[in-house]
Amino acid sequence: MNKVFFDVGISLDGFIAGLNGCSKNPLGDGGLKIHEWMFKQKAFLSHLKLEGGETNNPDNEIIQAIFDRIGANIMGKNMFDEGEANWPAEAPFHCPVYVLTHQKREPWERPEGTTFYFTDGSIEDVLKKAKQAAGKKDVRISGGARTIQKYLNAGLIDEFSMHIAPIIMGAGVRLFEYIDKSKFSFEINDVIHSPLATHLFYTVKNTV
């Protein structure tokens, strides 16, 4: 059975993006700093068809392992809008991406395997489609925060990972807000650290 997970970079004070994020300010004010550890890694850069980057360290291996498990993505419309303006033509997914939106739009096929499907289905129905598309691989709830929270509150997340950068944002978009904590508990699966970030892996025990 394929799993449903989310994977986020986060600051020490709990922000996964800065304030004022939009297509001209991707990840919001100061938000790029949260992912600085990732931008240095070969697995990330090569996903964007860029050269260089570090290899043979836990950070790089973690990124590679996460990319390798993804068979389909689900994202909110805001995240898509930010990405559409900033991703290269070869959008960095290389598998189907379901965009939650009421706006009707034909599927948008990009080079190198990414196709965006625009849907106003329920989050449950979209997940069913994504699971089917993912085959034996897993489904990533890509973001943003509100989309992750919806899936978490609906009891639809099996696992998640967080990469804590040792920085203070002070303000921005929080991951853990609007969460109905009565619906699940978390178990610590694994923790790996490097000088750049601390990688935490949790399993969700849903009670709904």
Q: Between 62 and 91, how does the x/- string for binding to a second copy read (CB under 8 A)?
A: ------------------------------
Q: Residue 143 in contact with residue 161, Cβ under 8 Å?
A: no
Contact status: 198 vs a second copy (CB under 8 A): yes
| Near a second copy by CB under 8 A: residue from 20, 122, 193, 206 | 193
11, 166 Cβ separation under 8 angstroms: no
User: Applying CB under 8 A, which part among 7-15, 55-63, 76-84, 132-140 lies near a second copy?
Assistant: 7-15
- Contacting a second copy (CB under 8 A), which of 49, 85, 170, 208? 170
Give the one residue of 59, 169, 172, 173 binding a second copy; rule: CB under 8 A: 169
Told to check if 108 binds a second copy by CB under 8 A, we report: no
Q: Under the criterion CB under 8 A, does residue 188 sit at the interface with a second copy?
A: yes
Count the site residues for a second copy by CB under 8 A: 29
Please pick, from the candidates 68, 166, 206, 208, the single residue that binds a second copy as defined by CB under 8 A.
Answer: 166
- Tell me the three-class secondary structure of the chain, residue by residue: CCCEEEEEEEECCCEEECCCCECCECCCCCHHHHHHHHHCEHHHHHHCCCCCCECCCHHHHHHHHHHHHEEEEEEEHHHHHHHHCCCCCCCCCCCEEEEECCCCCCCEECHHHCEEEEECCCHHHHHHHHHHHHCCCEEEEEECHHHHHHHHHCCCCCEEEEEEECCCCCCCEECCCCCCHHHEEEEEEEEEECCCCEEEEEEEEECC
Look-up of token digits 């994202």: 75
Which is nearer to a second copy, 109 or 190 (by Cβ)?
190
11-40: which residues touch a second copy (CB under 8 A)? Answer: 12-14
Least CB distance to a second copy at residue 41 (A): 16
> Interface with a second copy by CB under 8 A: which residues?
12-14, 164, 166-170, 174-177, 179, 181, 185-188, 190-191, 193-198, 200, 202
